[in-house]
Chain A
Amino acid sequence: MKKTKGHQPKLGKRLLSLLTHYEDEFSGSGDIGEEFEERDLDGGRSRALLWYWGQVLYAVWSEFKLSVWFGGVMIKNFIKITMRNIKRQKLYAFINIAGLAVGLVVCILMVLYIRFELTFDDFHENTNRIYRINAHDLGRDLKFAGTQALLASTLKKDFPEVKYAARLVDWRGYFRYSDGYKDTLFSENTFFCVDPDFKDIFTYPLVMGDASALEEPFVLFISQKIADKYFRGENPIGKTLSFDNRHVFIIRGILKDVPENSYLQFDILASMATLNTLWGEKWLNRWISHDFNTFVMLEKNADPARFEEKLRKFIRPPDVGHEKERDVYYSQSLRQIHFGAGLRNEEGETNDIRYIYILSATVLLILLIACFNYTTLATARATKRMREIGLRKVVGAGRMSLIRQFLGESLLFALLAFSIAILAVKLLLPWFNHLMNRNLEFSFLSDLPIFFIVSLMVGITAGLYPAFYLSSFQPTRLFRGIPTKDSGSSSILRKSLVVTQFVITIALITCLLIIKNQIDYLTKNSMRDFGNIVVTVALNDDELRANHEALLQAFRQSPQVQDSTVSYHHPLHISWGMGLNWEGVEEGQFVRLGPVDFNYFDFYGLKIKRGRKMAEGMSTDRAEAMILNETAAQASPWEDPIGKRCQVDGNEGVVIGIVEDFHFKSLYNQVEPLALRHLYTGGLASGAGYISLKISSFDIPGTLKYLEDTWQKFSSYFPFEYAFLDETIDNVYRTEIRLSRSLTFFTVIAIFLACLGLFGLTSFTAERRTKEIGIRKVLGASPNGIFLMLSKDIIKWVVLATVVAFPLAYYAMQEWLKRFAYRIDISVGIFALATVFSLLIALLAMSYRSVKAATSNPVDSLRYE
């Protein structure tokens, strides 16, 4: 909606023009629009908008009232009848309104979420001209979001289409601010280093300060949030921060907080020139490695397709020692990055567009189920209202007026449901935000009208069939006696609606079970299930990296610390990639290299397939022992590489064992070839990065406190940084976990709706067959028999629904599972479980009414008229 001053919102105008009577007779949108413009000019826009939408919504309601009146049915009478129906049939009304309300709540919440996901990065002024350059490493067939240091400047120089180009790389370290009295450590320890062009490409506005300072080294820009947190009331600009006890940064600007729908999330920006000192100049001027994200903004009239074509043909100059490496570059538009999963070295969070499709489809299905509930019940209850309809017809009501009446009724239900849904959304939103890990808002000004229209549509969809069906009755037939069986077509429709509902519900249950199984499998296999609590401590202090033994000894003083190991990488992220050259073989091979200590294999339960693991007693193990995983062993030129010598990273090595493949990265990818060697190979003592500790589950906070206190004795500048291994694993699979959470939510809702529908339907059948049941009982039918009679129909439908649902779920889940290199097999057990579960639910939903009918006293049931 374009917000030009002085014009009424387009949506409102369209809505008003739908009110044909007002529009034709009174020129409604003209009047309301004219006064809106006046109010907009006089007072605030938001007040005018509030007034405007109040008028529009009321006009919708009034024309609705008028049109019912218009058709000859007095509004009072209509409302009276509807209210009377609601009162008389509280249960029925409750089921209808609750069903529609729940459906609308789901719809509103999910639309808010989906809309948010789809707006990623559209706040940049030039968002359509911004691209990231990705690299496709043909040799290894890997795609990287990261590119080499020299790419940005080369593109800017050699490609006329490129207006700005900037590199971005994440770095971490600890900032301290001291104002003479107090020392404050920043808890934010990751930040982006960016080239000066960054400010021209993206729209991250400054609140204060000078963006051109990005050219200088050791310059920081901090977000408003950080400024408020650490410099309450002070002006942070010009303040200096010490960094890792070694360098000094100066704050030169304050950024507006980065919007939540930005792919790049940061609180601190540093100038790229800083890295000349931190890393050394040569790291910023080479054609090796994929360390940097390269962003470009194209010229206004540049043709992205032509740029892409040229980019793909671009061959980077070879770097000494890496002549054989070759990347093909390609561009990815900024707005697609959020949905472009599957690249290495992403700097921000990505989502899978397929998840959005799944969620959208599910929202639609849930709304459909809610509508079907209404339709089913309304047609089922038709016989109850035959006399009312008949009388109306005899007195002279036309078919149109009856249709209008019944549609009006369903609209009224939808509107009641709508108001309940809005309240519920307001209440549920904080919880939903927590569930989805987002910060969504519901705006009464702009969102309310949209969902109002949605609920009107729901009302019409739900009421359309019943309206035509109910109004088609012949009065003569109606009065000759209520037909005992309702017409075939409607009962088939009703049954197919119930079956569809169950198809959807069962499919959702099945999908959910499969997703849960897969997530279980992922987290269990990421690092084998120990039954112990594993805490990883990051050695973020360089001095401690070299001398971690004393710290480790101190940690182990605690009786709660049961075992420990030291490694260079986090156990879930062994990222070093190297060439490994075998002695006497020309061709090298690629491996991931993980320096670990002697206890690593026992600690993480790694199984040695052949050979042996490194042992402290073997004098040479420290210097040259190397253990390959199965994948690496298979890729080697040897049948059995044990005992073979090789060179990696400048150090001699000899293979002493083969370890079974294990997942040292996420299960999205195949296990890569891996070589493990000792931390001290080549006398490289700085190689310790993480300490892993197994702690007992007794008094975990106490243990953590002990560890932290110990840490502080060793390092005063750097904070104690720890993580639970299982939480780290969960974090890797957060998109999946989020999907599973939202699907759980959906499934519960779908089950609830299906149960409501089923409950209503059984109540209705039981009620209609009261007399029949009474007679059967008088003639000697047992309660069991009656129960079976009432249930068997529905059981039949549920079974039919499973037959339809399973292939659907199976197909959808097969597609989803393709995301993972390692995945579960979809077993028959899951389907069996889903069937049993849905049958149970169905029986539970029906049993109350069926049992009541089956055990009732026939005297009562036969006397009920």
Chain B
Amino acid sequence: MKELTLLEQMILAAIIALEEDAYGVSIRKKVEKLTGKRLMYGTLYNALDQLLRKDYVSKTKGTTSTARGGRPRIYYALTPKGKNALRTSYDLQKAIWKSIPGFLGD
């Protein structure tokens, strides 16, 4: 299985952090808050598209109201498969950093 990209990890982390409230705007903001990276919506959507296709993320449509120009919010949540992938990524990174213990101490 292909590893998650950093972007994907950031987005998945943001979704988890947001719990029930993870939709486009909030994810973008959370990512910025957590990592300082500002995403373009285009970038975010393309990454989400990948994650949806790999079945790491599921989505549910929120209620439609007159706010947001009549467009509903789309909420995202991690699937078990997504959680698994994120964990694998974490293990992999831990392994990488473990292999050079002196590096960070410099």
B-binding residues in A (CB < 8 A): 7-8, 13, 21-23, 25-35, 54-55, 58-63, 65-66
Instruction: Give the interface centre of B68, B70, B71 by most chain A CB atoms within 10 Å.
Output: B71
Contacts of B45 in A (CB 8 A): 22, 25-26, 28, 59, 62-63, 66
Contact B46 A31 (CB under 8 A): no
Contact B69 A58 (CB under 8 A): no
Contact A26 B24 (CB under 8 A): yes
B73: CB under 8 A from chain A?
A: yes
B49: CB under 8 A from chain A?
A: yes
Cβ contact of B52, chosen from A25, A27, A29, cutoff 8 A? A25
Contact B74 A58 (CB under 8 A): no
Contact B40 A33 (CB under 8 A): no
Contact B74 A33 (CB under 8 A): no
Contacts of A22 in B (CB 8 A): 41, 45
What is the chain B residue whose CB lies nearest that of A23?
A: B71
Contact B49 A61 (CB under 8 A): no
| C-alpha spacing A61/B43, complex, angstroms | 10
Query: 3 shortest A-B CB distances, which residue pairs?
Result: A62-B42, A30-B71, A31-B24
Question: Apart from A28-B41, A32-B41, A61-B42, what 5 extra A-B contacts exist at CB < 8 Å?
Answer: A30-B71, A31-B25, A34-B67, A58-B40, A59-B42
Contacts of B70 in A (CB 8 A): 30
What is the chain B residue whose CB lies nearest that of A64?
A: B42
Contacts of B24 in A (CB 8 A): 26-28, 30-31
| C-alpha spacing A55/B28, complex, angstroms | 12
Contact B73 A62 (CB under 8 A): no
| C-alpha spacing A635/B77, complex, angstroms | 94
| C-alpha spacing A61/B41, complex, angstroms | 11
14 A–B contacts from the bound complex (CB under 8 Å): A21-B49, A26-B24, A28-B45, A29-B71, A30-B71, A31-B23, A31-B71, A55-B42, A58-B42, A58-B43, A62-B40, A62-B41, A62-B45, A62-B46
| C-alpha spacing A757/B8, complex, angstroms | 46
Contacts of A8 in B (CB 8 A): 69
Instruction: Give the interface centre of B40, B43, B72 by most chain A CB atoms within 10 Å.
Output: B40
| C-alpha spacing A59/B28, complex, angstroms | 14
Count residues of chain B with CB under 8 A from any CB of chain A. 22
Nearest CB on B from A72, distance (A): 13
Contact B41 A59 (CB under 8 A): yes
Nearest CB on B from A39, distance (A): 11
| C-alpha spacing A622/B74, complex, angstroms | 95
| C-alpha spacing A28/B28, complex, angstroms | 13
Instruction: Give the interface centre of B23, B40, B69 by most chain A CB atoms within 10 Å.
Output: B69
Nearest CB on B from A31, distance (A): 3
Nearest CB on B from A413, distance (A): 21
What is the chain A residue whose CB lies nearest that of B42?
A: A62
Contact A59 B40 (CB under 8 A): yes
| C-alpha spacing A862/B104, complex, angstroms | 65
Contact A35 B73 (CB under 8 A): no
Contact A30 B72 (CB under 8 A): yes
| C-alpha spacing A59/B43, complex, angstroms | 8
Contact A34:B74 (CB < 8 A) given known A58-B40, A62-B40 = no
| C-alpha spacing A28/B49, complex, angstroms | 12
B15: CB under 8 A from chain A?
A: no
| C-alpha spacing A658/B30, complex, angstroms | 93
Contact B42 A30 (CB under 8 A): no
A-binding residues in B (CB < 8 A): 23-25, 28, 40-43, 45-46, 48-49, 52, 59, 67-74
Contact B69 A55 (CB under 8 A): no
Contact A30 B48 (CB under 8 A): no
Nearest CB on A from B86, distance (A): 21
| C-alpha spacing A23/B49, complex, angstroms | 12
Contact A66 B46 (CB under 8 A): yes
Nearest CB on A from B39, distance (A): 10
| C-alpha spacing A60/B46, complex, angstroms | 12
Nearest CB on B from A51, distance (A): 10
Contact B40 A13 (CB under 8 A): no
What is the chain B residue whose CB lies nearest that of A66?
A: B46
What is the chain A residue whose CB lies nearest that of B27?
A: A31
Contact A65:B46 (CB < 8 A) given known A27-B24, A31-B41, A59-B40 = yes
| C-alpha spacing A330/B23, complex, angstroms | 62
Contact A34 B25 (CB under 8 A): yes
Contacts of B28 in A (CB 8 A): 31, 35
What is the chain B residue whose CB lies nearest that of A10?
A: B69
Contacts of B52 in A (CB 8 A): 25
What is the chain A residue whose CB lies nearest that of B62?
A: A27
| C-alpha spacing A822/B59, complex, angstroms | 75
Contact B25 A35 (CB under 8 A): yes
Contacts of B59 in A (CB 8 A): 25
Nearest CB on A from B42, distance (A): 3
Contact A30 B41 (CB under 8 A): no
Contacts of B41 in A (CB 8 A): 22, 28, 31-32, 55, 58-59, 62
Contacts of B71 in A (CB 8 A): 23, 27, 29-31, 33
Instruction: Give the interface centre of B46, B59, B67, B70 by most chain A CB atoms within 10 Å.
Output: B46
| C-alpha spacing A13/B46, complex, angstroms | 19
What is the chain A residue whose CB lies nearest that of B67?
A: A34
| C-alpha spacing A344/B82, complex, angstroms | 79
Contacts of A31 in B (CB 8 A): 23-25, 28, 41, 68, 71, 73
| C-alpha spacing A62/B45, complex, angstroms | 8
| C-alpha spacing A698/B70, complex, angstroms | 76
Contacts of A62 in B (CB 8 A): 40-43, 45-46
| C-alpha spacing A22/B24, complex, angstroms | 11
Nearest CB on A from B38, distance (A): 10
| C-alpha spacing A63/B40, complex, angstroms | 12
Contact A26 B42 (CB under 8 A): no
Contact B74 A27 (CB under 8 A): yes
Contacts of A34 in B (CB 8 A): 25, 67-68
Nearest CB on A from B20, distance (A): 17
Instruction: Give the interface centre of A7, A13, A21, A27 by most chain B CB atoms within 10 Å.
Output: A27
Contact B25 A26 (CB under 8 A): no
Contacts of B73 in A (CB 8 A): 27, 30-31
Nearest CB on A from B49, distance (A): 6
Nearest CB on A from B2, distance (A): 14
What is the chain B residue whose CB lies nearest that of A8?
A: B69
Cβ contact of B40, chosen from A21, A23, A55, cutoff 8 A? A55
Contact B72 A25 (CB under 8 A): no
Contacts of A65 in B (CB 8 A): 46
Nearest CB on B from A556, distance (A): 76
| C-alpha spacing A7/B42, complex, angstroms | 20
Contact A26 B69 (CB under 8 A): no
Nearest CB on B from A452, distance (A): 14
Contacts of A61 in B (CB 8 A): 42
| C-alpha spacing A31/B74, complex, angstroms | 9
Nearest CB on A from B24, distance (A): 3
| C-alpha spacing A31/B73, complex, angstroms | 7
Contact B74 A26 (CB under 8 A): yes
| C-alpha spacing A60/B45, complex, angstroms | 11
| C-alpha spacing A35/B28, complex, angstroms | 10
Cβ contact of B49, chosen from A13, A58, A60, A66, cutoff 8 A? A66
| C-alpha spacing A25/B24, complex, angstroms | 11
Contacts of B74 in A (CB 8 A): 25-27
| C-alpha spacing A60/B41, complex, angstroms | 10
| C-alpha spacing A183/B68, complex, angstroms | 63
Nearest CB on B from A52, distance (A): 10
Nearest CB on A from B50, distance (A): 9
Contact A30:B68 (CB < 8 A) given known A25-B52, A66-B49 = yes
Contacts of B23 in A (CB 8 A): 31
| C-alpha spacing A716/B45, complex, angstroms | 76
Nearest CB on B from A73, distance (A): 15
| C-alpha spacing A22/B74, complex, angstroms | 11
Contact A13:B42 (CB < 8 A) given known A25-B52, A26-B48, A35-B28 = no
| C-alpha spacing A27/B59, complex, angstroms | 12
Instruction: Give the interface centre of B41, B48, B49, B73 by most chain A CB atoms within 10 Å.
Output: B41
Contact A25 B49 (CB under 8 A): yes
| C-alpha spacing A272/B64, complex, angstroms | 62
Contacts of A26 in B (CB 8 A): 24, 45, 48, 74
